[in-house]
Structures are given as C-alpha cells and as structure tokens.
Amino acid sequence: MESTAITQKTPVLSSNISVFNLPESVRQIAQLARGTGVHYVCVSNVHTVIMGERDPVFRKVTNSATLATADGMPLLWASRVLGKSPIHGRASGPDIMKLFFSDPEFADLRHFLFGSTERVLSGLQRNLQTTKNGHNIVGTYSPPMRPVPDAELAISPEEKLECERINQSGANIVWVSLGAPKQEIWMYRMRPHLKAQVLIGVGAAFDFLSGNVKRAPEWMQKSGLEWLYRWTQQPGRLFWRYASTNPEFLVRVAVQALRRGDGNG
C-alpha cells in the first residue's frame, strides 16, 4: 500500500500533492497505521506550497512525505490547471482528525497528541474523549517553544527524551500541531527515532477541535474562503502570511499555466 500512496500524487507548482479526497486519505492513513515502518503525512496548503517554492530544503521535506493531502480549495483548482491528475477533493487536518476519532472502524488505533499549549491540549483531550474513539488517546505533550531547526540537524537530548515518551505510549498515530514549517521539519527529523507508524502534521486542528478557535462556516470552506475567515479571526498573526503567499501563488500558477499552454511547461 505504501507504493500506491507515494505514487498517486500530482504536481502543484514544485510540490507533489496526493490526489486523494478525505475518505480516501483516511483509508490510506489507517492502512499505514496498521502496517509497518514509520510514515509521515503533510497537510498541504497555499502557504506550504509557496514555502516549498522559496526553500528547496522545505520542498524536499514535504515531497518526501508518504502522503501530502490538499487542505484548501486553491490546490484543487490549481491541480486542474497544472496537474496531470486532478486532486479528488479536500482533506484538511481537522476533518482527517475528526474522522479517526468518530468512526468505530478505527477503534483499534492509539493516538498521541503532540504540540500546541497545555491549555489547548486539555480542551482538545476533553472534547475528543466524548467521541467514539477518544479513549484511545495514550499520551499528550506540549513541547517548549523552539526556533525552526535545520532539517538535517541531529536531534537534541531533550528531543530524544520526547521521542522515548511517545514510543513508550504505544501510539499508532502521532498528531502534530506545531504550525508550518516546524511540524513538517519535526516529522522529517524525528521519523528515524519513532516507532509510531504515522506522524501527521495537522496545524490548527488542535485549536479548532479544542474550541479555542472557531472554524469557518462550511460554505466558506467549500468556496475557498476559509483563509479569509481565519484572517478576520487572527489578523495580526495571519496578515503577512496571506498577503505574501496568496498573490504569489496565483501569479506562479498563472505563469506555469501559460507556459504549459505554449508547450513550454
């Protein structure tokens, strides 16, 4: 199954994005979680794609993931213009996480929650424990704030202890909420030191599912406007991200589409 997951990707600019929709992505992740080896899953959006355009090392990190699901309608639209295989549908971090905790089909899987703050983790664990599979949370940890490390940096003694803590929990899936690019680089660096079959970076999912931050209405999610709702919720933190990456994404997609139309892409 690993080879199927790896090969079914489509290029969005320089990033390779998995074509799977939400149910397909969840089935792929569950199969990996019940298998062997350690895999990591990136939940990709305009921000991470543009970071990959600017930084070849980060692009290597995300393109090395077993799965890179599409979180955001702009990636779906771009895949129809640029890719050989259009993305089937959106698979966001919060939606992936909700399905794993609500569907009894996944009752055998054990979960570790890594990231965010103690307050958010407490609210998240409390909310998830009301779901069908919430009793399968085998550990939580809020790591100290650290700068974004080099992707090839050896792990520190502190990080080694964190890995041992996760390994001792017996988790099958580690949900990672550190924000991009920290969570992607963390998974890339920690994978050789962990036993859990799947690491998945879910960004703001901890905030949404804990109730700490309200998520955009479904109609805004489906129309590609979730970023605008999040901007109004946290303008100070998100203004520069959206102001710098969204226009650049549109320009890069348009330029590449024109080149493909001329036979140069």
The crossing angle, in degrees rounded to 10, of helices 235-261 and 46-54 is: 70
What 3-state class would DSSP assign to 214?
coil
Taking the alpha carbons of 148, 153, 156, 158 in that order, is the dihedral positive or negative? positive
Residue found by looking up tokens 């690491």 in the block: 199
- DSSP single-letter state for residue 36: S
**Looking at residue 87, what is its pLDDT?**
96
- 8 Å CB contact between 172 and 40: no
pLDDT by residue for the chain (265 residues), tens only, comes to: 344 445 599 999 999 999 999 999 999 999 999 999 999 999 999 999 999 999 999 999 999 999 999 998 999 999 999 867 899 999 999 999 999 999 999 999 999 999 999 999 999 999 999 999 999 999 999 999 999 999 999 999 999 999 999 999 999 999 999 999 999 999 999 999 999 999 999 999 999 999 988 776 787 777 777 766 676 776 666 667 777 898 999 999 999 988 876 665 5
Task: Give residues with Cβ within 8 angstroms of 235, minimum separation 6.
Answer: none
pTM of this structure: 0.92
Instruction: List the structure tokens of 21.
Output: 């929709």
